[in-house]
Structure 1
Amino acid sequence: MPDIIVYRSSGENSLFVEQPAGSLPQLPADGATVTIDIDPGRTYQEMDGFGASFTDSAAYLIHQVLGEERRTEVMRKLFDPQEGIGLSFLRNPMGASDYARTVYSYNDLSEGGSDPELSGFSIAHDEADIIPLVQQAVQLNPELKLMASPWSAPGWMKTSGSMIAGRLKPEYYGVYAEYFVRFIQAYAAHGLPIYAVTVQNEPLYEPQHYPSMLMLPEEQREFITGYLKPVFRQHGLAAKIFCYDHNWDRPDYPLSVLEGAAADVDGVAWHWYGGAAAAQSEVLAVYPNHEVHFTEGSGGEWIPPFEQAFSNVMRTGIEILRNHSRSFVLWNLALDEQNGPTVPGFGESTCRGVVTVNQQTRELTYTLDYYALAHFSKVIRPQAVRLASDASREHLRSVAFRNRDGSVAAVLFNDSDAEETVSVRLAGEELLTLTIAAKGAVSVKAGGKLE
């Protein structure tokens, strides 16, 4: 029997509690109400990691509002694989998003100006808060991967003349591709390689109150094949290119992009604000050599009760992984007591951060998203390979992986209103039998090096 450690959540006041297997009651497998069979002979995707985003707002709150002691604590709890939950994937905005204190790009000009040589390009904004925190995160977890997504091109490149709404002008496709190159090179100069980029955050959504840019699939396809990928090759950049970066309800978009750009695209990025995770598998079935990534999902006040909100992250996270995603990335790493800061004119924010930093009291609170991410990230490490897992009852949701150290990790969620006794079997042999509370989550790590 391998060494086993269990992490359990069974309610709002009992979240991600560590239980060495020796402290668990010895339950007979024949008394189980549900059986989970993990088959190491059937394997799927390799994991890149779990994480969230250092938006301008999140970075400001952690880097400037928190004192040094609390800042050190939260960074360790977020990124350290031993002392924290070992987050290993960041997806940061390239310029302002809705969660920023101001609207900014890396090449802002006064109205009517243009700078096709990008002589004014600068990432000075990011050097204040974002880059120091990403550097610290990499020190805490050297396996961390960093990807970047723009909410908008600089306003002078767009039909609207603004970072808010509008489309990229065709005459600036080449300049905008070079803008990506400058960004990647600037981050590399700070010791931060960019693992991947997406071309546009939520390209089918054009809000009028924060940075956005409409980009139809044929435009994205042309931009990637004619400009972005060629200039990456020219400069010897290894950053991957993911297309789409929007909701599950429009799989036709990435299919359209890949139809003409498959050779220049490495994968598809997805969000959870519409549709179902099965869309990831639907596109993968057509393009099996392209990676699947889940790059944004936020919880918030639209799912108010704690149990429903926690259940949503656990249930959906498991489905995301079972539908071949190599990453599971939530949204803001930190927000304040008003669910902000947001760009001027945004209005009321209902999103939830992974942690809350109160701007008035400087109090630090770990939200349910932190504990839900912990259930995945603590036991499923980078380069883990997903194993088939099948449950005898549909409401017992599961996903399983084999880590590089040989350990087997499983995340289980009891999506029913009654406690279940669950027998977990690996290759037909009983691993352990344990109870899982109604709407409770359990993460198991067996064998290998237990942290």
Structure 2
Amino acid sequence: MRAFCTTFAALAVAFPAVAAPKLQAWVTTGDKRQLLAEQRASRAVSARDVADLPVIAVDAKERHQSIVGFGASITDSSAWLIQNKLNAAQRDALLRELFGRANGGLGFSFARVTIGASDFSLDHYSLDDTPNGAPDPKLEHFSLKRPEQYVFPTVRAALRINPDLKVMHSPWSAPAWMKTTGSLVQGELKPEAYPVYADFFARYIKGAAKLGVPADYLSIQNEPDFEPDSYPGMRWKPEDRARFFGENLAPVFQREKIATKVLDWDHNWDKPDQPMTVLADAKARAFLAGVAWHCYAGDVSAQAPVTAAHPDKEVFLTECSGGEWAPKFDDSFSWMMENLIIGSTRGGSRGVLMWNLALDEKFGPHKGGCSDCRPLVTIDSQTGAITRTQEYYAFGHASRFVKPGATRIGSPARVGDLRTVAFQNPDGRRVLLVLNIGAGAADFAISDGVSQFKASLPARSAGTFTW
């Protein structure tokens, strides 16, 4: 017996007990008492210890889309503020906070830039403005001078911090001389301008690449079912977009050996029939990589039927803005978490983008359009001081922890007042995002089929849990 015990003790030294897995958590509460605040780590417990708790079951065998990332648009206004209202040290610190991962950085890995002006520009312009609006079929007036002033340097700085950053590009309007109105404001693309507009996109993508700015994704028109009356915009019907994709853009991209992935729609959840119409066209469908969505009308559930009908196409949420129409932190934080971070990714999105990365204390500068859109960060135009908004914290709950290349895995959409989405990072680490929409605190269990953890969230709060 003594010999057996001696042998067992020796085996115990040779094969030490494996420590129970550890759960780490970060929480943001609607009352702002906690803002991405790290919680005390906890060890796994036995199934008996959580027998009376509602369970969020995470299933790593159920695999969905891979993740490109989370981020925001580096608009003209954002870039101008970053380059002109921050000194070099402030600028570097902010970009490292937003695009880096060290020291609690958000690790943004997805960004969007405008091709020409939007409402968040200091003035209205295109990349091919001509004297008196004269036609320019050979694109002799094409120039990247404007984005090279502020936007492209900001993108390059972000890329130096995060080389994994993927960049999407979207125009608000074709050059005025291509349009029925002869203006950047309102109108449609003239049918005879389709060939030269395809050349325009090729010229832009290749020119941006030479300046160190990749074009990983492209949409051909921001919000093609809307003609704003105070800033650049252009209506583009789905049948006509399909024709442009198949008959104009696809041949030019093939000729120029351009590998940029092209997305249709880039507009709201309320009209899923529009991208479905485009994808019903065989030539367009063969060319397109996927569909981009905005949040301003309709419901996030609109993504699912389109995704189900075209499972081979990528899905992105490419624009949403907070604003003073929803000023309360708890309300807008909860909405962003439920609809964008959780709802959109559960609806197939590989990436999620907010609108302006940065604006000033007056929600600008802007030229027409939205006068009270809220950015992720506010830059004080006098001091350079940074204020982080509720959107910053909502996106941080995903971007800090869900790495590029992560896979969405199984978890329940709802457990009582809890809303969830789960991911597995390339290194195998699991990430579970949970939103408690309830008026009271919630205790629950997290189980991945092997380990169980006890967890809790205060009322009106969100947590990111990793193990």
TM-score under structure 1 length normalisation: 0.95
Mapped contact 1:29–1:423 kept (Cα < 8 A)? no
Matches within 5 A, 1:100-249: 100-249=121-270
What is the number of equivalent residue pairs in this alignment? 443
The one-letter amino acid of 1:237's match is: I
Q: Distance in 2 between matches of 1:169 and 1:425?
A: 57
Counterpart code for 2:343: E
2:292 to 258, 264, 269: 269
The aligned counterpart of 2:65 is 45
1:191 shift after superposition: 2.2
Query: Which SS does the other structure have where 2:223 is aligned?
Result: coil
- Please give the alpha-carbon distance, in whole angstroms, between the structure 2 residues aligned to 1:199 and 1:347: 20
Question: Does the 8 A contact of 1:40 with 1:427 survive in 2?
Answer: no
What is residue 330 of structure 1 aligned with on the other side?
354
Secondary structure, aligned partner of 1:371: helix
Q: Secondary structure at the match of 2:102?
A: coil
On the 8 A contact 2:174/2:189 being kept in 1, the answer is yes
Show CA shifts across 1:299-357 (max 9, x none): 111112111011111111200011111011000000111111111xx266111001001
Q: 1:23 to 1:71 in 2, by over 3 A?
A: farther
Give, as a single letter, the amino acid of the residue that structure 1 aligns with 2:384: R
Aligned equivalent of 1:404: 426
Q: Indicate conservation of the 8 Å contact 1:384/1:402, yes or no.
A: yes
2:388 maps to 366
Q: Are the equivalent residues in 1 in contact too, given 2:109–2:165 (CA < 8 A)?
A: yes
Q: Kindly provide the CA deviation profile for residues 221-278 of structure 1, in whole angstroms up to 9, marking residues without a partner as x.
A: 1111111111011100000010011001100000000000211111000001111111
Partner of 1:449: none
Residue 27 (structure 1) shift: 12
Cα 1:226/1:415, change in 2 over 3 Å:
same
Q: By how many angstroms is 1:30 displaced?
A: 2.5
Separation of aligned partners in 2, 1:230 and 1:410:
43
What is the 5 A alignment of 1:19-38? 19-22=39-42, 29-30=49-50, 33-38=53-58
* SS at 1:106 equivalent: coil
Q: Residues 135-174 of structure 1, C-alpha deviation per residue, up to 9 Å, x if partnerless?
A: 1111111111001010000111101111110000011111
Following the alignment from structure 1 to structure 2, what is the Cα–Cα distance between the partners of residues 358 and 34?
45
Q: What CA distance in whole angstroms lies between the structure 1 residues aligned with 2:254 and 2:370?
A: 43
RMSD (CA atoms)? 1.8
Q: Does 1:318 align with 2:342?
A: yes
CA drift at 1:33? 4.1
Contact 1:296–1:331 (8 Å) recurs in 2: yes
User: Paired residue for 2:32?
Assistant: 12
Letter in 2 for 1:384: A
Q: Is the 8 A contact 1:37 1:428 kept in 2?
A: no
Question: Matched residues, percent identical?
Answer: 40
Cross-structure match for 2:84: 64
2:445 aligned partner: 423
Change in 2 beyond 3 A, CA 1:31/1:337: farther
Instruction: Tell me what 1:295 maps to.
Output: 318
Consecutive unaligned residues in structure 2, runs of 5 or more? 1-19
- Residue 96 in 1 paired to residue 120 in 2? no
The DSSP-based 3-state class of the residue aligned with 1:400 is strand
- Residue 29 (structure 1) shift: 4.2
Pair 1:355 & 2:377 matched: yes
Name the SS for the 1:69 alignment partner: helix
Is 1:149–1:201's contact at 8 Å kept on the other side of the alignment?
A: yes
Deviation, 1:439, is 1.0
Partner of 2:3: none
For 2:370 and 2:355, the matched residues in 1 are separated by 17
Query: Do structure 1's residue 304 and structure 2's residue 327 form an aligned pair?
Result: yes
Length-normalised TM-score, structure 2: 0.92
1:28–1:216 distance in 2 versus 1, CA, 3 Å? same
Distance, in Å, in 1 between the alignment partners of 2:93 and 2:458 is 30
Q: CA deviation at 1:428?
A: 5.1
Rounded Cα–Cα distance in structure 2 between residues aligned with 1:368 and 1:26 = 36
Change (3 A) 1:7 1:265: same
